[in-house]
Amino acid sequence: MADSLGDVLGSIRSRTPSAGGGGLIRKVILLGLVLLVVGVLMPSCVTYVEPGHVGILIHRAGGGVDPKPLGPGFRMRNPMLSAIEEYPVFMQTLVLTRDEAEGSPSNDEINVNSQEGQPLSLDVAMSFELDPVKVPKLYETFRSDIDLIQHGYVKQTIRQVLQEVVGGEPIADILGPKKAEVVARSQKLLESRLALYGILVRQFTINETRAPSSVIDAINVKNVMQQQALTAQNELQKNEFQARGDSIKAAGRAKAITAEAEAQAKANRLLAESLTPSLVQYRMVDKWNGVMPTVSGGSTPLIQLPTPK
């Protein structure tokens, strides 16, 4: 029994690694642990900023935001003391409409009132970019991503601007001749107010305007009456122009007849003044063919023949 136990202990000693071999194993295990820790922590230590975006470096220790934005590429950071938020700086379009297929799933139409207090529902769109230099200030002000800023502060600013512009115009002008002016004025106000936070407005449009049907009917009736009045006025002007033209033509004809009569009278007067007995006698002799008339009366002939000597 004792011999058997000794044999077993001897076998265990022969299989136990020496002190040098144990150190190597410990080193391998330590290296593996280090690599494991690095593999786990590396994604949190390196942040990749996508093209068309800028990174915002947030200091967790002090709670502040670095004023200088980070450009695209790999960025190292201490995951315990800092964080990086990305903001897109490429062209974006905010669509506010009641159409779920075009905008957001909710109804984002803008509701305002005209000068008369008539309600209007507007579908609008705004294309914009973010100024990379002002992105840190934008994040520091709102502490949220760009989507929340668009459907929060930006949407409210658009509603306020449209109420200021649309509220000062009659509804008929908004739906008709002043629609382009309303769009231009609204875009100018949006540019000035959103630029403070680095939101650069590139284009603003009103895609659709909806008014109560009763208002639309009243505007249509008014337009028809205005068109009829304009047609009548044009017809009256046409008749006036035609009458004036006829009067001018009649006056011209009368003037022409008068001038012709005066010219004829003057010609007759000059002709009468130029006639003398000798001239008449000469013209009669000049036209005579030398044949005596076959019929004669008792009166003296018109042509006085010269008496032979």
Contact 139, 179 (CB under 8 A): no
CA distance 137 to 130: 11
Model-level pTM greater than 0.85? no
Only one residue has tokens 């790999």, namely 74
Query: Looking at per-residue confidence, does 197 or 35 come out higher?
Result: 197
Write out the H or E segment, with its range, that includes residue 229.
helix 213-274
Nearest to 202 by CA among 126, 106, 276: 126
Contact 107, 210 (CB under 8 A): no
Q: What is the pLDDT of residues 262-280, one digit of tens each?
A: 777 777 676 666 666 766 6
Q: What is the pLDDT of residues 20-72, one digit of tens each?
A: 556 788 877 777 776 665 555 555 678 888 999 999 998 887 778 889 999 99
Output the 3-class SS for 56-84: EEEECCCCEECCCCECCEEEECCCCCEEE
- What's the fold here for domain 92-211? Tetrahydropterin Synthase; Chain A (3.30.479)
For residue 88 the two structure tokens come to 């897109």
